[in-house]
Amino acid sequence: MKTINSTPKADGFRMPAEWEQHQGCVMIFPERADSWQYGGYAARRAFCEVAGAIAQSESVTVCASDNQYENARRMMPDSVRVVEMSSNDAWARDYAPTFVTNGSEIRGINWGFNAWGGLVDGLYFPWDKDNKMAMKLCDLFNTDMYDFGSFILEGGSIHVDGEGTCITTEACLLSAGRNPDLSKTEIENYLRECLNVNKIIWLKNGIFCDETNQHVDNICAFVKPAEVVLAWTDDQNDPQYEYSRSCLEILENSTDARGRWITVHKLRLPAPVTITAEECAGLDTMNFKPTRIPGERLAASYVNFYISNGAVIMPFFGDPADIPARDLLAELFPERKIIPIMARDILIGGGNIHCITQQIPL
């Protein structure tokens, strides 16, 4: 593995859209007991379902700690590769490399990671093992690496169409805990150089109560060039309403990098999902404080799906909105199977299916 001291744009590499062909997907086996109930037992079953669903159409590599390697190997389908790799938690989207391609070679980008806000409003400490994963994964997959470790960014905070457009949120990228010394223009320049995009659409907010400072991948995702799904509620009393409405307005008044107006499909949210006292009892404390309190609202959203080569793996919440959400995705991805996974045990950790996966382009 070689570290490359230029930028993807300078070298003619770009981040492809998620629907372009993958060689595979990376996930991380969950184990931290202050993120996941019962030391991870419940979440691990859900992660295995996600891995199995993805493995139907592309190869899946699951990273597990030395301690959890045997459990991961036993629980995961044979078709999934399990490798030992240390991490602080299990969010492959956010700290696996963002891969870029020039059509014949892929390379990884190592962004800096500080647990979604570092000492300002980060979610745990330390985050050193997470932050080393991008390099280790480039090494594992034999790709060279662009090192942008001094720029803090999580993979879940960006979405691209592979044709020059990036969508992100101000709430996250302009947060005080990431790159406070960089102007919005300077941050844009990182995205332009690294993702090789020339149009960045800035949404203001993401999902209410999303503790990542409102990653875009929970509120809005490209489904094809110039078409997105947007998490939506019709309940004007829900704080989410104003967030989503603002996104809609921005998107409907935006063109993409190629000058196309953007079509927005409203993907209606489930009724607010809150954590129960029993679920909270299954979580360890952090710094002598509970990590969740009973009744706390979780950032449930159907937008947090993963597009594999043959399927769209989407979260279900046991809510009546599950079915219309599935039907909309089926309509938008007619050539892919829609695979729903009951995702409450992933959601409790603070994210969902897109957050725990990272595609590796061909």
* Residues 114, 120: Cα–Cα separation, whole Å: 10
Q: Which of 5, 104, 119, 142 binds a second copy (CB under 8 A)?
A: 142
**DSSP characters for 300-325?**
--TT--EE-SSEEEEEE-SSTTHHHH
**What's the Cα-to-Cα distance from 164 to each of 13, 130, 153, 257, 348, rounded to whole Å?**
11, 29, 19, 5, 34
Task: Say whether residue 83 binds a second copy (CB under 8 A).
Answer: yes
Task: Tell whether residue 139 is a contact of a second copy (CB under 8 A).
Answer: yes
- Shortest spacing between CB 3 and a second copy, in angstroms: 8
* Pair 306, 354: CB distance under 8 Å: yes
Q: Contacting a second copy (CB under 8 A), which of 5, 66, 104, 287?
A: 66
| Count of Cβ atoms closer than 10 Å to residue 162 Cβ | 19
Report if residue 245 touches a second copy, rule: CB under 8 A: no
Find the shortest distance in angstroms from Cβ 223 to a second copy: 32
CA distances for 110 relative to 13, 99, 107, 135, 144, angstroms: 15, 9, 10, 6, 10
User: Which among 115, 29, 24 is positioned nearest to 66, based on CA atoms?
Assistant: 29
Residues numbered 152-191 forming contacts with a second copy, rule: CB under 8 A = none
Q: CB nearer to a second copy: give 147 or 284.
A: 147
Residue 80: CB minimum distance to a second copy, A? 9
The single residue among 9, 73, 245, 265 that binds a second copy, judged by CB under 8 A, is 73
Q: Is there a catalytic annotation at residue 355?
A: yes
Q: Is 105 in the site for a second copy (CB under 8 A)?
A: no
Applying CB under 8 A, the span of 41-49, 79-87, 229-237, 312-320 interacting with a second copy comes to 79-87
Beta-bridged to residue 59, according to DSSP, are 24
Pick the piece of the chain touching a second copy (CB under 8 A) from 113-121, 131-139, 208-216, 249-257. 131-139
Among 129, 204, 245, 260, binds a second copy (CB under 8 A): 129
Contact status, residue 265 vs residue 328, Cβ threshold 8 Å: yes
> Which position among 81, 260, 268, 297 is part of the footprint of a second copy (CB under 8 A)?
81
Beta-carbon-side half-sphere exposure of residue 336 (alpha carbons within 13 Å): 32
> Do 146 and 138 touch, CB atoms closer than 8 A?
no
Residue 86 binding a second copy, by CB under 8 A: yes
Known catalytic residues are 355
Contact positions vs a second copy (CB under 8 A): 1-2, 66, 69-70, 73, 78, 81-86, 129, 132, 135-136, 139-140, 142
